[in-house]
């Protein structure tokens, strides 16, 4: 796609969204039969699968920790998930994203309940349109809950940024590529605790506050979609 002259025209983004509007979101809990827990998510044109295995015995054994379970995360992009074929296998980007996803999820888990064990989280991006790390976190949180792993809270994530001098939420590829700022945020919504905050570009202090507030409101909406997906499978939440 060539760079358009403007990314926001008459207050509307290229896909017709308002600046504060999320892309359509769809979540299915338990999308895979063989995993202990799983979820499929679509956030706009992103399509991502998360699979959870464990808690199970750690291999290699010497990586086991005597007092808590190790959370292991692997984020990968399918070769066909992006416009230019992605070379299979880990690269700097996927290693970094796997690390920040682990750090975003870890505070929600009671890892001390499972000494010597490992919990494996696999995130596979099938189709990418910017915001795959946040979509991956949203799917992984549902997959962890689907695996029956006790959690303090879910983790919900979305990116915010600045495009044509406007603060926007849930950037698509064109906005990620040609916008000036991209800030992925993850939080535990009930605890209002931020577990991931990265920034590519610049915000003034005032813009940062507005963007973070917008991200937190977006996470609340995503949290509701995550809960709905789990309810559809388990009817959690009693008569709510
Ligand atoms: N992307 C791509 N090829 C790559 C890596 C990324 O086309 O090898 C695209 C993909 O659409 C991705 C977007 O660039 O979602 C933004 O990537 P970024 O590293 O900002 O991470 P994300 O926003 O997906 O978390």
- Which pLDDT tens digit goes with each residue over 10-62? 999 999 999 999 999 999 999 999 999 999 999 999 999 999 999 999 999 99
> Which residue's alpha carbon is nearest to atom 7 within ligand 1?
82
pLDDT band at 237 (very low <50, low <70, confident <90, very high): low
**Residue 187 falls inside a structural domain:** yes
Probe target for ligand 1 pocket from 96, 135, 176, 182, with the most ligand atoms within 8 Å of CB: 176
**Residue 154 falls inside a structural domain:** yes
**Residue 3 falls inside a structural domain:** no
- Give the burial class of 19: count Cβ atoms within 10 A of its Cβ; 0-12 exposed, 13-18 middle, 19 or more buried: middle
Phi, psi of 206 (to 5 degrees): -65, -45
CATH number assigned to the domain comprising residue 177: 3.30.230.70
**Residue 2 falls inside a structural domain:** no
If you measure from the C-alpha of residue 130 to the centroid of ligand 1, how many angstroms do you get, rounded to a whole number? 5
Regarding the beta carbon of 93 and ligand 1, being less than 6 Å apart is answered yes
Pairing verdict, β 117-127 and 8-9: unpaired
Mean pLDDT of 158-181: 97
If you measure from the C-alpha of residue 110 to the centroid of ligand 1, how many angstroms do you get, rounded to a whole number? 31
143: Cβ contacts below 8 Å, ≥ 6 apart: 29, 35, 37, 38, 39, 50, 51, 52, 121
- Residue 170 and residue 43 in contact, taking contact as beta carbons nearer than 8 Å: yes
Phi, psi of 73 (to 5 degrees): -125, 135
Mean pLDDT of 144-162: 98
**Residue 134 falls inside a structural domain:** yes
Task: Please provide the average confidence, as pLDDT, over all residues in the chain.
Answer: 96
For residue 151 the two structure tokens come to 């959690």
Distance separating alpha carbons of residues 91 and 13, to the nearest angstrom? 32
Phi, psi of 162 (to 5 degrees): -125, 125
Residue range of the domain that includes 78: 11-238
Closest CA to 130 of 212, 46, 25: 46
The ligand 1 atom nearest the CA atom of 133 = 25
Regarding the beta carbon of 133 and ligand 1, being less than 6 Å apart is answered yes
**Residue 5 falls inside a structural domain:** no
Closest CA to 155 of 143, 167, 147: 143
Number of domains in the chain: 1
- Which pLDDT tens digit goes with each residue over 213-234? 999 999 999 999 999 999 999 9
The pTM of this model reads 0.97
Pairing verdict, β 46-57 and 37-43: antiparallel
Regarding the beta carbon of 76 and ligand 1, being less than 6 Å apart is answered no
Regarding the beta carbon of 173 and ligand 1, being less than 6 Å apart is answered yes
- Which pLDDT tens digit goes with each residue over 49-106? 999 999 999 999 999 999 999 999 999 999 999 999 999 999 999 999 999 999 999 9
State the Cα angle at 221 between 227 and 189, rounded to 5°.
70
Regarding the beta carbon of 47 and ligand 1, being less than 6 Å apart is answered no
pLDDT band at 240 (very low <50, low <70, confident <90, very high): very low
**Residue 27 falls inside a structural domain:** yes
25: Cβ contacts below 8 Å, ≥ 6 apart: 41, 42, 43, 221, 222, 225
Q: Taking 60 as the threshold, does the pLDDT of residue 8 lie above it?
A: yes
Regarding the beta carbon of 181 and ligand 1, being less than 6 Å apart is answered no
């Amino acid at each position: 796609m060539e760079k358009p002259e403007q990314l926001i025209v008459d207050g509307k983004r290229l896909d017709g969204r308002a600046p504060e509007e999320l892309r359509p979101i769809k979540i299915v809990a338990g999308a895979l039969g063989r995993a202990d827990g799983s979820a499929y998510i679509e956030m706009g044109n992103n399509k991502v699968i998360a699979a959870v295995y464990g808690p199970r015995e750690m291999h290699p054994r010497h990586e086991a920790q005597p007092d808590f379970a190790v959370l292991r995360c692997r984020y990968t992009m399918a070769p066909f998930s992006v416009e230019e074929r992605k070379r299979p296998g880990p690269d700097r980007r996927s290693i970094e994203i796997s690390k920040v996803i682990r750090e975003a999820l870890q505070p929600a888990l009671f890892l001390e309940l499972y000494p010597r064990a490992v919990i494996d989280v696999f995130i596979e991006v099938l189709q990418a349109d910017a915001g795959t790390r946040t979509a991956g976190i949203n799917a992984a949180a549902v997959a962890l809950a689907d695996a029956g792993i006790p959690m303090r809270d879910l983790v919900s994530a979305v990116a915010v940024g600045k495009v044509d001098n406007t603060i926007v939420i849930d950037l698509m590829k064109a906005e990620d590529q040609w916008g000036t700022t991209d800030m992925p945020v993850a939080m535990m919504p009930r605890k209002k605790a931020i577990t991931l905050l990265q920034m590519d570009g610049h915000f003034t202090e005032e813009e940062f506050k507005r963007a973070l507030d917008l991200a937190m409101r977006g996470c609340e909406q995503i949290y509701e979609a995550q809960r709905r997906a789990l309810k559809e499978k388990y009817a959690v939440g009693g008569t709510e």
